[in-house]
Amino acid sequence: MNKIAIGTIYRSEILRFLRTLTQSFLSPVLSAMLYFIVFGAAIGPRVQEIGGVSYGQFIVPGIIMLTVMTQSISNAAFGIFFPKFTRTTYELLSAPVDFFEIMCGYVGAAATKSLSIGLVILVAANFFVDLQIEYPIIMVLLLVLTCICFALFGFIIGIWANNFEQLQVIPLMLVTPLVFLGGSFYSLKDLPPVWQTITLFNPVSYLISGFRWTFFGQADVPVVYSLLALGIFSLGCIIMIWWIFRTGWRLRT
């Protein structure tokens, strides 16, 4: 395995992240802060507790998940789309590296970026609400896995996209609705039974529920389902990336 190449791609992507800190770091952190202010501090006190947890506390895991999912996708998608856009992918394709090394470099960097954003939001949330984390190790594990899983998905989107519009369309039209409707701001138990059943087909709801469980010890669905959903989705993405590099789809002529 070409470990030096993995490190090279990873460092290069992290450098790009640091170069565009305002756009790639401050912007999502600020958005999350706005959610805390509007939903947590302003509206939160008027909403009744959910399972003994104040609304301000309840939305913290959801907002963190919302941010890391969208950031993982956009970071990884842009990371591989940019070389395509500048036509510098020739270098990746002609280098002695295979799909796994390229994937590790780009996905690893994208996951690191979104993880750092998620952790900063977690720390910042303490300024707005009194936060207790029941299972901190599992919380970090779920957060890391979510970042990797969604970065894998974003990497595929970045390869698939032929222009900036396509780069945005899946995150905006599919992922954001799934995250919002997956229980980021509410408990699935508060939905009418029909909608509860429909929501069970939304894979994102399993992740948000599992992540919330690590904070408060209560979940809409068992946490093992969350880990299972992450594992299955990640595996599917890795197989897809392997196939892309094997066939050269959207990369090689």
Positions touching another protein (CB under 8 A) are 2, 4-5, 7-9, 11-12, 15-16, 19, 82-83, 86-88, 90-98, 247-248, 252-253
Whose Cβ is closer to another protein: residue 105's or residue 182's?
Answer: 105
Whose Cβ is closer to another protein: residue 12's or residue 187's?
Answer: 12
Q: What's the closest the beta carbon of residue 24 comes to another protein, in angstroms?
A: 13
Nearest C-alpha neighbor of 216 from the set 143, 140, 115, 131: 131
Whose Cβ is closer to another protein: residue 213's or residue 245's?
Answer: 245
Nearest C-alpha neighbor of 81 from the set 241, 253, 252, 250: 250
Whose Cβ is closer to another protein: residue 19's or residue 46's?
Answer: 19
What single DSSP character describes residue 23?
Answer: I
Q: What's the closest the beta carbon of residue 86 comes to another protein, in angstroms?
A: 6
Cα gap 205→220, rounded to integer Å: 9
Whose Cβ is closer to another protein: residue 90's or residue 195's?
Answer: 90
Q: What's the closest the beta carbon of residue 213 comes to another protein, in angstroms?
A: 41
Cα gap 228→132, rounded to integer Å: 25
Whose Cβ is closer to another protein: residue 69's or residue 107's?
Answer: 107
> Which ranges of the chain would DSSP assign to H, the alpha helix?
3-19, 21, 27-35, 55-85, 89-94, 99-125, 136-160, 164-170, 176-180, 193-199, 203-216, 223-247
- Whether the CB-CB separation of 39 and 118 falls below 8 Å is answered with no
Q: Hey, how many other C-beta atoms are within 10 angstroms of the C-beta on 52?
A: 9
